[in-house]
Amino acid sequence: VLLQIFDAFKPRLHDSNSKVNQVALEAMHKMIPLLKDNLSPVINMLIPAIVDNNLNSKNPGIYTAATNVIRALCQHLDTSLLLQPFCTKAQFLSGKAKQDLTEKLA
């Protein structure tokens, strides 16, 4: 069931409408403390959706929401679940997104 929910939710995390995108990121931020390690089956799908475009966004609301989501993931999930997806994304990112994710990895 969780997989089906996040399959439907994931496109909103990088919606072309910036308001939809930001609200989805803010909703994700609220869900993380509630779901915690139960997110493990969907984490490999969520990390790219959260990171791609959002961490390099010129929209300050989207960038802030994305960094809040990353911070919440680091606080509420077993960090071993995040290591591989963060490393994979950090390899292919550029700019501020690469710097932000590399700092989280460190």
- CA-nearest of 3, 78, 90, 4 to 47 is 90
Furthest C-alpha separation in the chain:
36
pTM of the shown model = 0.94
Domain boundaries, the chain: 1-103
pLDDT of residue 20: 98
The residue behind tokens 């959706």 is 49
pLDDT of residue 106: 85
Count CB neighbours of 79 within 10 A.
12
Can you tell me the distance from the alpha carbon of 58 to that of 82, in angstroms, rounded to the nearest whole number?
25
Q: What is the pLDDT of residues 37-66, one digit of tens each?
A: 999 999 999 999 999 999 999 999 999 999
The residue behind tokens 């791609």 is 52
Q: What is the mean pLDDT of each run of 10 residues along the chain (106 residues)?
A: 94 96 98 96 95 94 97 95 94 93 91
